[in-house]
RNA sequence: GCGCCCGUAGCUCAGUGGAUUAGAGCAACGGACUUCUAAUCCGUAGGCCGAAGGUUCGAGUCCUUCCGGGCGUACCA
């Protein structure tokens, strides 16, 4: 299907250009003030409003008087039906036909890029996310990192950025060394066995200090370049990474670059960083013989202004390896340079930022999210209350399959997966980053209401209408025949979508997109139940509604793709 | 103890540089499928926006204190 549309308004989002025009009009009379329009709480009060309260001190008149004054100063525009003064507000009633027509035309013209401001065209960005301890299968808490990160990647690409996605692989360190030790003597270890191995060795190390010494000895051998150590570490890490990327890949989450911590050690980068820090005079050797970085003056909320970079035996600690890697990322010149981290890493990343500052680099931007909790409290590996992402996915697929069989007698595997994963992703992405997600199976596996499948369902229903219309859309339509309130409300929701995307991008907050898409879907469902499309009495109404539906499909589809939710044609 | 984040309907969550009457979903109750997919829609009920002060003509939104939860607070990553 190809669309050839002429935009009746200038390029971009119609409602935004209406706002610009109105603001221009007002500025001619009150040039000094900041003018901002907002959307009234009730459609009865109009579609756009100017609160005149902030102007009162400037003009030294009452808001109501200012509103009354300005009312006469608004020029004649085809998109404005009437302007009314209510209290201190100047309320604008937009012309329904113009809004619907301009919005639908803009959407069909811009298609997959409707909602994008193009802010990233010609620019390069970098996003690091997931980077989890490779010791086992990710639980839904860890998955939140990958989901948020992946959505940010999608949003940036939507904005036009060339994005490089990074995964920083933790293949050094105590935890991995313990895994290597725990797996010693085994022929091979599968990904699913890792958690058991890890729990077991953890217990043994706690009980036996001698064993812990062996762990550190192993680490030391690795860092000094011992071939056997390197080989056995790499073997375990490969199992971890394969397992994790298989699960995340199943959800459509992919990475461009895997950087290994060990690489920064073996290439001598960590040593070099240490040398450069030494030259700044901020690096100190403490009484235990460890290298610590003095962060005095950075006002960090920690008891002691130090970050420890090495063990006494000279082996590197995570912060040092991460500093080396982070500098590497900075040197790519990509901007924005984003890293997604749990809220437990807030202070830690301030330390990294300080370390980079000492070396003269600007640190990446960190996006933090809060942990996923269970209704009874935290997830605990020891109490066995963690919900593994893979289990969540499997349960969701089972339920989606069951629902499809109930409805159609059979289930399409690909669609069942799309619906299931849509539910999984939406359940986590709909919550604002800084809030804890409360995970309970019942609502997480719900396909009704404010869920991923709700979006997919709307999309599928519209597709069904278009299919029954013969797959062809009318070349144009007379939108003045769309007189129902809900048709106008729906168009306004569609028009709102781009500013939601812009905000979501600016704040790295996928939940804003989730909400915006859900609003459109809700408005559509109301419309759907109230307004027949193919069965409309009038051919002109049919055509106009068909194009309205096609725009809704596009917008919901764009929203879903930003969340990484697969649109389905039927379900 | 100190620092950061969160506290909105029974439950899960929205709420845009303060601004016209605080919104959804789930659960509950009552309705709507011979009509484009009922994974839907419509209606009813449900709120001292954690508490108390403060700033403002105006506060869920800003400030202070307190309470509750999450996360930190050098030798894990």
pLDDT of residue A27: 84
Write down how long chain A is.
571
Which A residues 412-431 have CB within 7 Å of strand B? Answer: 415, 419, 430-431
First to last CA, chain A: 22
Domain ranges of chain A: 14-94, 124-264+322-373, 389-563
* Helix segments in A257-340, DSSP class H: 261-266, 269-280, 318-330
As a rounded value in angstroms, the CA-to-C1' distance for A488 and B39 is 26
Beta carbons within 8 Å of A193's beta carbon, 6+ residues apart:
none
In this prediction, residues A10-30 reach a mean pLDDT of 79
A254 CB and strand B closer than 7 A: no
User: Is it the case that residue A412 has pLDDT exceeding 70?
Assistant: yes
User: Is it the case that residue A202 has pLDDT exceeding 70?
Assistant: yes
Quote the CA–CA distance of A159 and A154 in Å, as a whole number: 9
Q: With pLDDT > 70 as the criterion, what percentage of chain A qualifies? A: 97
In this prediction, residues A221-231 reach a mean pLDDT of 90
pLDDT of residue A32: 66
pLDDT of residue A218: 92
Place of tokens 């963690």: A386
As a rounded value in angstroms, the CA-to-C1' distance for A499 and B18 is 20
User: Is it the case that residue A68 has pLDDT exceeding 50?
Assistant: yes
Q: Using pLDDT thresholds of 50, 70 and 90, give the confidence band for residue A12.
A: low
Q: Which of A14-18, A252-256, A312-316, A471-475 has the lowest mean pLDDT?
A: A14-18
pLDDT of residue A297: 92
Quote the CA–CA distance of A357 and A362 in Å, as a whole number: 6
pLDDT of residue A464: 97
Which A residues 459-498 have CB within 7 Å of strand B? Answer: 460-461, 463-465, 468
Same fold, A14-94 and A389-563: no
Q: With pLDDT > 90 as the criterion, what percentage of chain A qualifies? A: 75
Structure ipTM = 0.96
- Pairing state between β A306-308 and A291-294: antiparallel
Considering only the top CATH level, what class is A124-264+322-373?
Answer: alpha beta
- Which amino acid residue lies closest to nucleotide B18, measuring CA to C1'? A54
- Which amino acid residue lies closest to nucleotide B5, measuring CA to C1'? A434
* Radius of gyration (C-alpha) of chain A in whole angstroms: 28
Task: Please give the mean pLDDT across all residues of chain A.
Answer: 92
As a rounded value in angstroms, the CA-to-C1' distance for A409 and B43 is 33
Which A residues 507-546 have CB within 7 Å of strand B? Answer: 511-512, 515, 518, 522, 525-526, 528-535
A266 CB and strand B closer than 7 A: no
As a rounded value in angstroms, the CA-to-C1' distance for A454 and B28 is 22
User: Is it the case that residue A7 has pLDDT exceeding 70?
Assistant: no
As a rounded value in angstroms, the CA-to-C1' distance for A515 and B20 is 24
Task: Rounding to the nearest 10 degrees, give the CA dihedral for residues A89, A94, A100, A105.
Answer: -100
Please name every residue paired with A293 in a beta bridge, in sequence order, or none if there are none: A283, A307
A407 CB and strand B closer than 7 A: yes
Q: Using pLDDT thresholds of 50, 70 and 90, give the confidence band for residue A41.
A: confident
- Architecture label for domain A389-563: Orthogonal Bundle (1.10)
The tens digit of pLDDT for each residue in A174-194 reads 888 999 999 887 878 889 888
Domain A14-94 listed as CATH 3.40.50.1110: no
User: Is it the case that residue A566 has pLDDT exceeding 90?
Assistant: yes
pLDDT of residue A8: 37
Which A residues 160-199 have CB within 7 Å of strand B? Answer: 170, 172-175
The tens digit of pLDDT for each residue in A509-556 reads 999 999 999 999 999 999 999 999 999 999 999 999 999 999 999 999
In this prediction, residues A55-70 reach a mean pLDDT of 86
């Amino acid at each position: 299907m190809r669309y050839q549309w002429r935009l009746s308004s200038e390029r971009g989002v119609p409602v935004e250009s209406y706002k610009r025009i109105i603001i221009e009009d007002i500025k001619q009379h009150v040039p000094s003030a900041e003018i901002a329009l907002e959307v009234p709480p009730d459609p009865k009060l109009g579609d756009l409003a100017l609160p005149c309260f902030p102007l009162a001190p400037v003009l030294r008149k009452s808001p109501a008087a200012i509103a009354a004054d300005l009312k006469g100063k608004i020029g004649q525009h085809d998109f404005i039906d009437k302007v009314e003064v209510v209290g201190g507000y100047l309320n604008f009633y937009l012309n329904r036909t113009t809004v619907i027509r301009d919005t639908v035309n803009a959407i069909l013209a811009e298609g997959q890029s409707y909602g994008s401001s193009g802010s990233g065209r010609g620019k390069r960005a970098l996003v690091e996310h997931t980077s989890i301890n490779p010791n086992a299968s990710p639980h839904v808490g860890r998955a939140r990192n990958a989901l948020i990160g992946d959505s940010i990647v999608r949003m940036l690409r939507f904005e036009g950025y060339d994005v490089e996605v990074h995964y920083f692989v933790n293949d050094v360190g105590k935890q991995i060394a313990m895994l290597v030790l725990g797996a010693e003597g085994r022929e091979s270890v599968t990904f699913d066995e890792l958690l058991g191995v890890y729990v077991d060795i953890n217990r043994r190390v706690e009980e036996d200090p001698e064993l812990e010494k062996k762990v550190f000895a192993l680490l030391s051998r690795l860092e000094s370049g011992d071939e056997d150590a390197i080989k056995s570490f790499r073997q375990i890490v490969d199992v971890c990474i394969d397992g994790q990327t298989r699960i995340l890949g199943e959800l459509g989450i992919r990475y461009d670059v895997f950087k290994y911590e060990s690489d920064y050690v073996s290439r001598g980068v960590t040593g070099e960083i240490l040398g450069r820090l030494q030259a700044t005079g901020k690096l100190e050797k403490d009484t235990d013989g460890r290298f610590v970085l003095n962060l005095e003056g950075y006002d960090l909320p920690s008891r002691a202004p130090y970050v420890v970079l090495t063990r006494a035996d000279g082996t590197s600690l995570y912060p040092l390896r991460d500093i080396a890697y982070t500098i590497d990322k900075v040197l790519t010149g990509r901007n924005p340079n984003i890293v997604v981290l749990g809220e437990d890493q807030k202070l830690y990343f301030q330390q990294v930022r300080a370390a980079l500052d000492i070396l003269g680099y600007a640190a990446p931007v960190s996006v933090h999210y809060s942990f996923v909790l269970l209704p009874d409290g935290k997830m605990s590996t020891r109490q066995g209350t963690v919900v593994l992402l893979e289990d969540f996915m499997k349960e969701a697929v089972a339920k989606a399959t069951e629902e499809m069989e109930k409805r159609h007698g059979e289930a399409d595997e690909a669609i069942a997966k799309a619906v299931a994963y849509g539910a999984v992703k939406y359940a986590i992405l709909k919550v604002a980053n800084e809030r804890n997600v409360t995970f309970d199976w019942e609502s997480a596996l719900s396909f009704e209401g404010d869920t991923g499948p709700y979006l997919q369902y709307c999309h599928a229903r519209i597709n069904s209408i278009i299919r029954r219309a013969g797959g062809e859309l009318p070349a144009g339509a007379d939108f003045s025949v769309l007189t129902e309130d809900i048709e106008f409300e729906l168009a306004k929701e569609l028009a709102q979508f781009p500013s939601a995307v812009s905000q979501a991008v600016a704040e790295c907050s996928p939940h804003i997109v989730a909400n915006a898409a859900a609003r459109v879907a809700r408005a559509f469902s109301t419309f759907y139940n109230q307004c027949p499309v193919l069965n409309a009495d009038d051919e002109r109404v049919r055509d106009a509604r068909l194009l309205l539906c096609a725009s809704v499909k596009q917008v919901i589809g764009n929203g879903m793709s930003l969340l990484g939710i697969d649109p389905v044609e039927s379900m």
